Amino acid sequence: MEQSGSDTCPICLSPILQESYLDLCFHKFCYNCILQWAKFVSSRHSPQQPFLKCPLCKRKSTSIIYEYDGNSFQQHLINQNSETSNFFTKAHKYRLQCYYVESGNSISNINITRYWKSSKYRQPNQWLYSWVSREIQALLQEKDVDIIVHHILGVIDSWRRNEPKGCKISPELKQEEFKRIVADAAKPFLRGRTDRFVNELEVFVASALNIEAYDKVYVNHLGWKIPEINDEDHEEPEERDPLIPLLSFSDEDIDETV
Ligand SMILES: [Zn+2]
Ligand SMILES: [Zn+2]
């Protein structure tokens, strides 16, 4: 195949739309063209192969990279769909979309400053494991993220345990340090999405909400429905969700001795 202009899709021979790459050879295609190609190829193979041979160089890639913006990207795994649909729920999809819009700090009235002034941050959050798992699964579109989750939670735990007793560190410094260690732990996996993930994690722990309630805050604010949450069968009247006011801390949460 000749080396055509780098912005021409080798499949449709038109200017590339939604540039995407195969993960091994980095040959460029329109996202839809290569996706259709992958579908076509896999329809001719049974059982399906978890890779795609590049139509140009025949090297085997396991994913299509798209929406690369210099920082972050999306990844479509070849023939992982059946497995993907098992774990990739509507809530995963919803969360992935959330990472493209406003951050949690701007949609809720969670008072993060007060969280760091309180002693709450020293207490383990029982929902954190499930929340981090889901977020990482959503961001990476991968099911098996346990190693990453354990790594991140381990770093948070040891940071919490190793806090020097009676040491007067300002809440701002604590916050900064927390975000730095979480970012360091997550960066090798989340890359361009790291900072945003760290912000979301901070909002999640500061909110003291469980996952369902946290999701509801987003649904209420952004207005997109997650079917699991806004179940059509028992649809409530257009009332605002009463969970929202719980996002502010009550005063007894604040430990002023810190
Ligand atoms: Zn094309
Ligand atoms: Zn190639």
Mean pLDDT by 10 residues, the chain (258 residues): 66 92 92 90 78 92 87 80 65 83 68 87 90 93 89 94 76 93 94 91 92 87 64 42 36 42
Query: CA 135, CA 122: separation in Å to the nearest integer?
Result: 22
Nearest ligand, CA 61: 2
User: What is the 2 CA–ligand 2 centroid distance (Å)?
Assistant: 13
pLDDT given for residue 165 in this prediction: 67
| Ligand 2 (single-atom ion) residues, CB below 5 Å | 25, 27, 54, 56-57
Token pair of 137, please?
A: 């699964």
pLDDT given for residue 86 in this prediction: 67
What number of other Cβ atoms are within 10 A of residue 152's Cβ? 27
> Residue written as tokens 């079917």?
227
71-102 exposure pattern, b = at least 16 Cβ within 10 A, e = fewer: ebbbbbbbbbeeebeeebbebbebbbebbeee
The 8-class DSSP code of residue 102 comes to -
pLDDT given for residue 46 in this prediction: 72
Query: CA 239, CA 237: separation in Å to the nearest integer?
Result: 5
Please spell the DSSP secondary structure of 146-204, one letter per residue. Answer: HHHHHHHHHHHHHHHHTPPTT----HHHHHHHHHHHHHHHHHHHHGGGHHHHHHHHHHH
CB 36 within 8 A of CB 50: no
pLDDT given for residue 177 in this prediction: 94
Nearest ligand, CA 27: 2
Nearest ligand, CA 35: 1
Cis peptide before 242 (omega within 30 of 0): no
Query: CA 198, CA 107: separation in Å to the nearest integer?
Result: 16
> Rounded to two decimals, what is the model's pTM?
0.59
